[in-house]
C-alpha cells in the first residue's frame, strides 16, 4: 500500500470512507447472544433467574441481600435488552415482579404462610433501593431502545418516501409525448 492510500481514511482499510472504526468493546458485545423474548418470556426469564439467584444466595451466602441486589441489576438489564421491540413496555413491569419472586428464599420468616408473607413484605420494603434501581435500569434501557427504534422507522419512512417520489417523477415533456397535457406543479398527471 502506498503512502497516499494510507493517508486517506477508509482507503485500503476495507471499510468505506467516512466511517469510524468500531471499538473493541462493541465488537465483543456483538458476539453475545441476542435473543428476542416475548413480554411473557422476558418476565419468566427474569423471575426464574431471580428465583435461582435467591436459592443460591440462601444456600451459599446465607441470604445476603447485598449479593441478591447486585445480581438483580444485570438480570434487569438483560431482561430489558432481550425483550422484543414490540414488548418493550413489559420489561420495567416484569422486573419488580421477578425481584419479589426471588426475594422469597432469602426473606426468612417463620410461623407458616402468614409469617413468610410478612417476611417477604418486610424484605421488599427494606430492599426497595435495589428494587427501584433495577427497575430504573430496565426502564432506561427500554427507553433508549424505543427511541432508537423510532429513529430507524423515521429514516426508513423518509427513505421510502424519497424512493417513491423519485420513481413517481416523470421527465419534463413526457406527458405531452404520451398525448396527455402537461401536469401542473404539485398535481398528479391525469391518465
Task: Report how far residue 122's alpha carbon sits from residue 132's, in angstroms, rounded to the nearest whole number.
Answer: 15
Predicted pLDDT at 28: 78
Q: Decide if pLDDT at 17 tops 80.
A: no
Give the pLDDT score at 10.
46
Q: Where is pLDDT greater, at 79 or 182? A: 79
> pTM value?
0.69
Judge whether residue 1 has pLDDT over 50. Answer: no
- pLDDT tens digits for range 139-148: 999 999 999 9
79, 101 Cβ separation under 8 angstroms:
no
Inter-axis angle of helices 39-61 and 91-107, nearest 10: 20
pLDDT tens-digit map of 158-175: 888 888 887 776 545 554
pLDDT number for residue 20: 80
**CB neighbours of 38 closer than 8 A, spacing ≥ 6?**
83, 84, 87
The average pLDDT across 111-132 equals 91
Amino acid at each position: 500500500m502506498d503512502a497516499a492510500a494510507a493517508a486517506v481514511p477508509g482507503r485500503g482499510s476495507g471499510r468505506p470512507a467516512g466511517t469510524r472504526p468500531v471499538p473493541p468493546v462493541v465488537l465483543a458485545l456483538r458476539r453475545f447472544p441476542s435473543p428476542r423474548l416475548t413480554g411473557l418470556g422476558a418476565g419468566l426469564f427474569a423471575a426464574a433467574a431471580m428465583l435461582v439467584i435467591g436459592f443460591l444466595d440462601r444456600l451459599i451466602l446465607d441470604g445476603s441481600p447485598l449479593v441478591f441486589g447486585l445480581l438483580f441489576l444485570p438480570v434487569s438489564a438483560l431482561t430489558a435488552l432481550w425483550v422484543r421491540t414490540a414488548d418493550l413496555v413489559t420489561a420495567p413491569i416484569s422486573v419488580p415482579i421477578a425481584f419479589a419472586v426471588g426475594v422469597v428464599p432469602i426473606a426468612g420468616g417463620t410461623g407458616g404462610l402468614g409469617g413468610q408473607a410478612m417476611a417477604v413484605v418486610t424484605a421488599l420494603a427494606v430492599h426497595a433501593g435495589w428494587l427501584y434501581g433495577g427497575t430504573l435500569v430496565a426502564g432506561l434501557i427500554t427507553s433508549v431502545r424505543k427511541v432508537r427504534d423510532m429513529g430507524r422507522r423515521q429514516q426508513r419512512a423518509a427513505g421510502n418516501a424519497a424512493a417513491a417520489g423519485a420513481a413517481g417523477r416523470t421527465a419534463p415533456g413526457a406527458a405531452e409525448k404520451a398525448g396527455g397535457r402537461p401536469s401542473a406543479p404539485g398535481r398528479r398527471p391525469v391518465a
